């Protein structure tokens, strides 16, 4: 910190703070709506204008809800590689950016389809439940009969056989579950039940942090959360349940997640090292949109009715053909594109560098799963176009989204991907998130900044703190000499940082 000390000026001894000068901020790329097939691209543009929200937020959520339509299908980029076409989509956006409204509009056709199917099966569901009760009553009657018979007698032996058969029928008979595509505030245990009831296919959709609190164990004070169901159901593996009543294995699972959360909640999630170590976070497509997409005016038009109707109709068609087990393969041209993309990602992993940025272990772990996400997106686009062979056009657009989403992931992980200037901007964000405070040590600031290795290597803050002092965000001083030991370097924070 010698250089930082040399920058320390007489301003420390002044009561007045200098005016804060802005630091040029690097931002992740914006979403190009032409990457989405019709009508999704047009819908994203129309919703962006009508709701005054970023197309990034809409597009990432669209990919997630679209993957609900693909549950039960797979993509096979090459022999021996087969993945279910479901996505975990996480959008990080500030409060007041209309996250709930975006999800409500996108989920309307899913809600209507769900209600329609529930109404169509209403009678069958009731009859099925009644039949289950009949089986149960049969078991109870035979148990009552057994209690009246002499143990070991011929009537007892015969009734015991009947009871065993009745129990078998009761346990084997499955009540027809009410069709349900998605839920919101649901525990991990209940999610497993839903997957079993819905033949291994389910989605979690929400714009609040409650679900993440449940996943991470914070809701119920669980220091050892169980991520297994989220890991297995992303990869299409079986999810096993072991209960007193018996064991159940849910085959061919497919879980979709569409979540919109605030930056503080995402930072909290990044602090869950076990979620990173087990690979849960790496399964997410993470997008950090600009707070507002376009300026809003009183005369902004409503969402284009024709485009929205086309969206609803296509969702209905796709949901009605869901669960057919379609396997999408690559055309020759799509395979050429994907091979080049895959090899470029592998080179980045081997060289520990992507787009000029040195990769840390967490970034590498995200990068290692990114090709698979891109293949899933390409299959989603081909599902909308029809046919089982992914075209070069679908793959090209999926790769564009892959590059876009990878830039957003690195931005989300590290605040800013390049240089001391970008780390300085990251520190500003963390100070604002922390809330107003007068003084901090460099160690205090490092603890607020878990990304980019700062938390473990405080020297990475040296240059960013120099930049912040030079631009009026903070100033260096020493703590008072009322305690024993050497006086510590402190950083006074300009109150103007919080407005």
Indicate whether 222 and 345 sit together in one domain. Answer: yes
Task: Say yes or no to pLDDT of 245 above 60.
Answer: no
Range from 23-37, 134-148, 365-379 carrying the lowest mean pLDDT: 23-37
Indicate whether 408 and 445 sit together in one domain. Answer: no
Indicate whether 318 and 367 sit together in one domain. Answer: yes
285: alpha, beta or left? (left if phi > 0; alpha if psi -120 to 50): beta
End position of a domain, from candidates 172, 207, 239: 172
Q: How confident is the model at residue 350 (pLDDT cuts 50, 70, 90)?
A: very high
Write down the pTM of the prediction. 0.75
Mean pLDDT of 224-241: 87
Task: Say yes or no to pLDDT of 7 above 80.
Answer: no
End position of a domain, from candidates 135, 154, 172: 172
Cis peptide bond prior to 240, omega within 30° of 0: no
Q: Which long-range contacts does 117-120 make (Cβ < 8 Å, 24+ apart)?
A: 117/179, 118/178, 118/179, 118/180
Task: Say yes or no to pLDDT of 64 above 80.
Answer: yes
Indicate whether 328 and 193 sit together in one domain. Answer: yes
Domain that holds residue 108: 33-119+180-414
What mean pLDDT value characterizes the chain?
A: 85
Tell me the DSSP string of 101-166: HHHHHHHHHHHHHHHHHHHHTHHHHHHHHHHHHHHHHHHHHHHHHHHHSPTTSHHHHHHHHHHHHH
Indicate whether 292 and 235 sit together in one domain. Answer: yes
Indicate whether 210 and 330 sit together in one domain. Answer: yes
End position of a domain, from candidates 172, 207, 240: 172
Q: Are 263 and 96 in contact (CB under 8 A)?
A: no
Q: Are 429 and 423 in contact (CB under 8 A)?
A: no
Mean pLDDT of 414-440: 78
Q: Where are the alpha helices (H) located in 198-239, listed in sequence order?
A: 210-216, 228-235
Range from 75-79, 302-306, 482-486 carrying the lowest mean pLDDT: 482-486
Residues 65-97 have pLDDT tens digits of 999 999 999 999 999 999 999 999 999 887 788
Indicate whether 312 and 452 sit together in one domain. Answer: no
> What is the predicted pLDDT for the residue at 342?
97
| Total domains present in the chain | 3
Q: Are 91 and 287 in contact (CB under 8 A)?
A: yes
Supply the CATH number for residue 59's domain.
3.40.50
Indicate whether 244 and 276 sit together in one domain. Answer: yes
> What is the predicted pLDDT for the residue at 478?
66
Indicate whether 283 and 147 sit together in one domain. Answer: no
Indicate whether 489 and 393 sit together in one domain. Answer: no
Q: How confident is the model at residue 44 (pLDDT cuts 50, 70, 90)?
A: very high
Indicate whether 346 and 399 sit together in one domain. Answer: yes
Q: How confident is the model at residue 422 (pLDDT cuts 50, 70, 90)?
A: confident
Indicate whether 471 and 379 sit together in one domain. Answer: no
Mean pLDDT of 203-216: 80
> What is the predicted pLDDT for the residue at 6?
37
Supply the CATH number for residue 483's domain.
1.10.10.580
């Amino acid at each position: 910190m010698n250089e930082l000390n040399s920058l320390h000026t007489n301003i420390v001894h002044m009561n007045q703070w200098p005016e804060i000068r802005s630091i040029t901020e690097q931002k992740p790329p914006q979403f190009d709506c032409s990457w989405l097939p019709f009508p999704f691209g047009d819908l994203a543009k129309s919703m962006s204008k009508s709701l005054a929200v970023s197309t990034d937020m809409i597009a990432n959520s669209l990919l997630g809800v679209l993957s609900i339509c693909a549950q039960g299908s797979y993509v096979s980029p090459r022999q021996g590689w087969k993945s279910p076409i479901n996505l975990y989509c996480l959008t990080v956006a500030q409060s007041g950016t209309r996250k709930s409204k975006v999800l409500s509009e996108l989920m309307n056709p899913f809600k209507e389809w769900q209600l329609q199917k529930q109404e169509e099966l209403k009678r069958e569901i009731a009859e099925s439940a009644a039949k289950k009760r009949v089986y149960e009553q049969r078991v109870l009657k035979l148990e009552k009969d057994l209690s009246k018979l002499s143990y070991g007698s011929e009537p007892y032996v015969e009734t015991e056989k009947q009871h065993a058969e009745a129990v078998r029928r009761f346990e084997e008979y499955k009540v027809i579950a009410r069709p349900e595509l998605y839920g919101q505030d649901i525990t991990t245990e209940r999610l497993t039940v839903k997957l079993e009831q819905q033949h291994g296919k389910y989605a979690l959709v929400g714009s609040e942090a409650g679900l993440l609190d449940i996943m991470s164990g914070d809701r119920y004070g669980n220091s050892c959360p169980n991520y297994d169901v989220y890991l297995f159901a992303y990869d299409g593996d079986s999810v096993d349940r072991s209960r007193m009543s018996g064991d159940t294995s849910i085959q061919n699972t497919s879980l979709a997640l569409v979540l919109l959360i605030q930056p503080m909640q995402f930072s909290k999630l990044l602090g869950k090292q076990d979620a990173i170590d087990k690979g849960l976070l790496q399964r997410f497509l993470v997008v950090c949109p600009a707070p507002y997409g376009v300026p809003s005016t009183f005369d902004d038009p409503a969402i284009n009715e024709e485009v929205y109707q086309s969206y609803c109709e296509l969702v209905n068609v796709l949901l009605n053909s869901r669960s057919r087990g379609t396997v999408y393969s690559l055309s020759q041209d799509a395979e050429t594109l994907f091979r080049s993309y895959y090899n470029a990602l592998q080179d980045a992993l081997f060289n520990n560098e992507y787009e000029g940025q040195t990769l840390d272990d967490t970034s590498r772990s995200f990068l290692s799963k990114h090709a698979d996400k891109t293949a899933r997106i390409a299959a989603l686009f081909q599902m909308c176009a029809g046919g089982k062979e992914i075209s070069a056009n679908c793959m090209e657009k999926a790769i564009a989204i892959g590059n876009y989403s990878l830039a957003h992931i690195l931005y989300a992980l590290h605040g800013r991907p390049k240089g001391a200037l970008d780390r300085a901007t990251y520190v500003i964000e963390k100070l604002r998130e922390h809330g107003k405070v007068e003084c901090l040590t460099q160690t205090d600031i490092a603890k607020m900044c878990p990304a980019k290795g700062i938390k473990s290597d405080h020297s990475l803050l040296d240059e960013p703190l120099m930049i912040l002092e030079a631009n009026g965000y903070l100033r260096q001083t020493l703590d008072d000499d009322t305690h024993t030991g050497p006086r510590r370097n402190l950083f006074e924070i300009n109150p103007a940082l919080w407005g």
